[in-house]
Structure 1
Amino acid sequence: MKTNQDTCQNCEQPYDKGFQFCPYCGQKINDELTLGVLFYNTISNYFSFDARFLKSFVPLMFKPGYLAKKFLEGKRLLYLHPAQMYLFISVVFFFVSSFTIDKWQKDIEEINKKIANAPVEVNEKKQSKVKLDSIKKADLLENLKENRSKLGLNTDELKKADSIIQSETNNTSFTWDFDKAKVDSLIGAGANDDIIYKEMGMSDNANYFERGIYKGFLNIAKGSGAGNMFRRAFDAVPITMFILLPLFALLLKLFYFRRGRYAYHLVFTFYLFSFLFTLFTILMVFDLLILPIPGWISTLIILSTFFYFYMALLKFYERHWFTTLIKSGVITFIFSILVLITTVGLVFFGIFNG
């Protein structure tokens, strides 16, 4: 080796002295380890990401199809990469939604416990009917009894309140398709699950699918299955989204097969799903931290996503407005069917693993 050459500590290639960076791998020469050097790449990458995300946020939310179009035009460093944006926003979305799901799970578990513990009426078909409104009435009466002194109610007034509440005839009912009282007694006696399944109506030669359904019903009958099933179904959503996202891009490819390769449609899909996740994340944060959003406002916001999708197609594919309107409706309908099938699959996933 020539005396006026050094060797790179990273790639071990020789280079002429005087270089500040290795001409082969790009590592800085004589880069002594300091705190600045240690965190330089992390900090620079973070601020680069942060700047591009902020620059991409407004177009993403208010200019449908703009980012996807600019990315295909070659502006790939000015804005956040579509896949990077989707991954980042999806992580934030599932993190925030976990708090909402926790709340929903607790509500579902509370309802499940009330249904499981409510008194039942068994008919001649061995079906057990639970009057859900009777549960609410019992809770209301219990609150009146506990606070009778604060409310200034005497015994006669409490009886009148009881009769008024009980006289309501508008009852919503829930029916178990088996003798719930007998199943409860078997559960209390510690009977084997297979015996309980048979009492619930499971066939002798039940397959895995049927056993899974009865397993889920038994957990619900015990008062703990619905919440866990809901949680497991939600936990499978991230995997499902990775399946639905490329399928959505495939739909776009089928409807716009002359408008570029599959990757072009995938870019559009990444940005579209990023918009949806961002919007729903903002709604959940607002609902959790500020004030609950009225149902009609949530409905209007969800409906606005269809308008966003239409405008994004119009901007990105540059086709006639009426043709785009028809295609957007058909694509939305087909994808809704796929989402419905996936949702049903998630429910059964929750049952089988509950």
Structure 2
Amino acid sequence: MTGSDPISDAVVAGSAAGELGDAIQASRRKKRERYSVFQAPTPAGACSNCSTQLSGPVCHSCGQTADTYHRPIWDLLTDILDGLFGLEGRLWRTLPPLMFKPGKITQNYLSGVRARYVMPFRLYLTASVLFFLLVFAFDGIGGGDDTPATIDPEDVASVEANLTNLDAQLAEAGISPEQRAEIVRMTEAGIDQAQSPPDLPPEVRTMQGQVNRDEIKRSFRQALLPEDFPAETAGEDAGEDGPVVVGDGVMVDPNGLDELPLPVRRDLADRADRIIDSGGATLAAEMQRWAPTMMFCLLPLYALMLAAMHFYKKGYFFYDHLVVSLHFHAFMFFLITGLSLAAHIIPGWIAVMIGLVWSNWYLYRLHRTVYSHGRFSSILRLVALDFAYLILLSFALLGLLIVSVMTT
């Protein structure tokens, strides 16, 4: 029987077309490649890593690409950027289902569909880098108001009148002028620098800020080291001053630390002095340094909570729960980053409400898709996870504050 087999012809034709395409690509690459003193230890057509005969641009044995990378640096950078941000890149095939189809890429990845998506750990790193870059490099989230604080002249006049009345009342009580002046000075020092009259000279505002910091440091040391202030701490109200403001929104309560050894309390007092002198900048810098580590440590803990919640289900392994945790945290980082940028356009409370609703809906759909739970069961697990994670996050933030203070 003469004639050719159509299937064989198609295979041969496809092979020839593939060889021709490889030859054209190799020819183009040959023109771009430069001479290098570093030559492959294997003959041409063999993998330079494991010596396996190549049948394509990637070794089927060890997975190493056949590219020598002896090309202009901008050519290599173009390949990297195209692979990451190109329309055909994995990132753009991963983000839409990650954000709008909860559980889809997680289920696909655990089922073996992986080449088309960004690896879970790399996806988490990308999301966390974007998030912390926004929070730290651009000084926080949301549309902050940089307008200098101002006070109505009538309020300034009212404060001055109150101080005058205070001086008169102290005089009627028989307090000496020196004592009255000291009490009025301390009362004035209690006014926050940001709330000072806007027309004060810069040197006066600087001096007032230093007075405030000195008062805070003295109050903190008095509560933390009563041995150094025997006269001041002999009264009945000793150690009942409450929390002390040491920075922007950071409050520390020294009470309850008096049982620590004296050297430890002295070290804490010295660290507190450095934090207060910097206006909380050193503490904020340490918290920024340790925050990514804290979030990274939460990943396996969240996976453990998922594993404990599904201990009775067969066929689920800790690796599966860890992938769920990575995808969920990556989603949260991308969501908060996007809403933080949107907070410059929409009211902040709307952005917060969108974040709360979206994140809980995502977690609900995650249980429905990945773990195949019913509606009621998914809602119960959602509430339980929210509550447990809130407690875990509270302890993590407390640990972050302690570590930041101890490394300041």
Q: Distance in 2 between matches of 1:96 and 1:182?
A: 36
Q: Distance in 1 between matches of 2:191 and 2:400?
A: 30
Aligned to 1:294: 347
Aligned to 1:158: none
Q: Distance in 1 between matches of 2:299 and 2:80?
A: 27
Which amino acid in 2 is paired with 1:80? V
Aligned to 2:14: none
Which amino acid in 2 is paired with 1:249? A
User: Structure 1's 340 and 10: CA in aligned 2 closer, same or farther, altered over 3 A?
Assistant: same
Q: Distance in 2 between matches of 1:42 and 1:312?
A: 36
Cα offset, 1:310, TM superposition: 1.8
Matched, 1:339 2:379: no
Cα offset, 1:181, TM superposition: 12
Q: Residues 47 and 53 of structure 2 are in contact (CA less than 8 Å); yes or no, is this contact kept in structure 1?
A: no
User: Structure 1's 57 and 19: CA in aligned 2 closer, same or farther, altered over 3 A?
Assistant: closer
Q: Distance in 2 between matches of 1:19 and 1:301?
A: 48
Alignment of 1:249-260 (within 5 A): 249-257=303-311, 258=313, 260=316
Which amino acid in 1 is paired with 2:274? N
User: Structure 1's 32 and 77: CA in aligned 2 closer, same or farther, altered over 3 A?
Assistant: closer
**Post-superposition CA distance 1:137-184 (Å, at most 9, x none):** 5324549xxxxxxxxxxxxxxxxxxxxxxxxxxxxx99x68855999x
Q: Distance in 2 between matches of 1:94 and 1:326?
A: 32
Cα offset, 1:131, TM superposition: 7.3
User: Partner of 1:139: helix, strand, or coil?
Assistant: coil
Which of residues 72, 75, 95 in structure 2 aligns to 1:57? 95
**Post-superposition CA distance 1:44-99 (Å, at most 9, x none):** 45433431111111111111111111112221012222112111221222222213
Q: Distance in 1 between matches of 2:94 and 2:371?
A: 20
Larger Rg: 2
Which of residues 55, 67, 71 in structure 2 aligns to 1:35? 71
Aligned to 1:47: 82
Matched, 1:198 2:228: yes
Q: Distance in 2 between matches of 1:181 and 1:23?
A: 66
Q: Distance in 2 between matches of 1:255 and 1:6?
A: 55
Q: Distance in 2 between matches of 1:131 and 1:27?
A: 68
User: Structure 1's 211 and 255: CA in aligned 2 closer, same or farther, altered over 3 A?
Assistant: farther
Aligned to 1:215: 270
Q: Residues 97 and 284 of structure 1 are in contact (CA less than 8 Å); yes or no, is this contact kept in structure 2?
A: no
Which amino acid in 2 is paired with 1:239? T
Q: Distance in 1 between matches of 2:279 and 2:382?
A: 39
Aligned to 1:314: 368
Q: Distance in 2 between matches of 1:181 and 1:269?
A: 41
Aligned to 1:237: 291
User: Structure 1's 6 and 86: CA in aligned 2 closer, same or farther, altered over 3 A?
Assistant: closer
User: Structure 1's 182 and 13: CA in aligned 2 closer, same or farther, altered over 3 A?
Assistant: closer
User: Structure 1's 62 and 197: CA in aligned 2 closer, same or farther, altered over 3 A?
Assistant: farther
Q: Residues 101 and 231 of structure 1 are in contact (CA less than 8 Å); yes or no, is this contact kept in structure 2?
A: no
Q: Distance in 2 between matches of 1:239 and 1:277?
A: 14
Cα offset, 1:42, TM superposition: 5.9
User: Structure 1's 91 and 14: CA in aligned 2 closer, same or farther, altered over 3 A?
Assistant: closer
Larger RCO: 1 or 2 (CA < 8 Å, sep 6+): 1
Q: Distance in 1 between matches of 2:396 and 2:353?
A: 24
Which amino acid in 2 is paired with 1:299? V
Aligned to 2:154: none
Which amino acid in 2 is paired with 1:283? L
Which amino acid in 1 is paired with 2:319? A
Equivalent pairs: percent with the same residue?
A: 22
Tell me the TM-score normalized by structure 1: 0.65
Q: Distance in 2 between matches of 1:335 and 1:52?
A: 30
Q: Which runs of 5+ in 1 are unaligned?
A: 112-118, 123-127, 144-172, 184-193
User: Structure 1's 198 and 272: CA in aligned 2 closer, same or farther, altered over 3 A?
Assistant: same
- How many residue pairs get aligned? The number is 289
Aligned to 2:112: 74
Which amino acid in 1 is paired with 2:394? L
Aligned to 1:83: 121
Q: Which runs of 5+ in 2 are unaligned?
A: 1-41, 150-162, 164-178, 180-185, 202-211, 234-256
**Post-superposition CA distance 1:234-276 (Å, at most 9, x none):** 2201111111011001100110121500111111111111111
Tell me the TM-score normalized by structure 2: 0.57
Aligned to 2:196: 138
**Post-superposition CA distance 1:291-336 (Å, at most 9, x none):** 3653311320331222322222222211111111111111111111
Q: Residues 134 and 140 of structure 2 are in contact (CA less than 8 Å); yes or no, is this contact kept in structure 1?
A: no
User: Partner of 1:236: helix, strand, or coil?
Assistant: helix
| CA RMSD after TM alignment | 4.7
Q: Distance in 2 between matches of 1:22 and 1:314?
A: 39
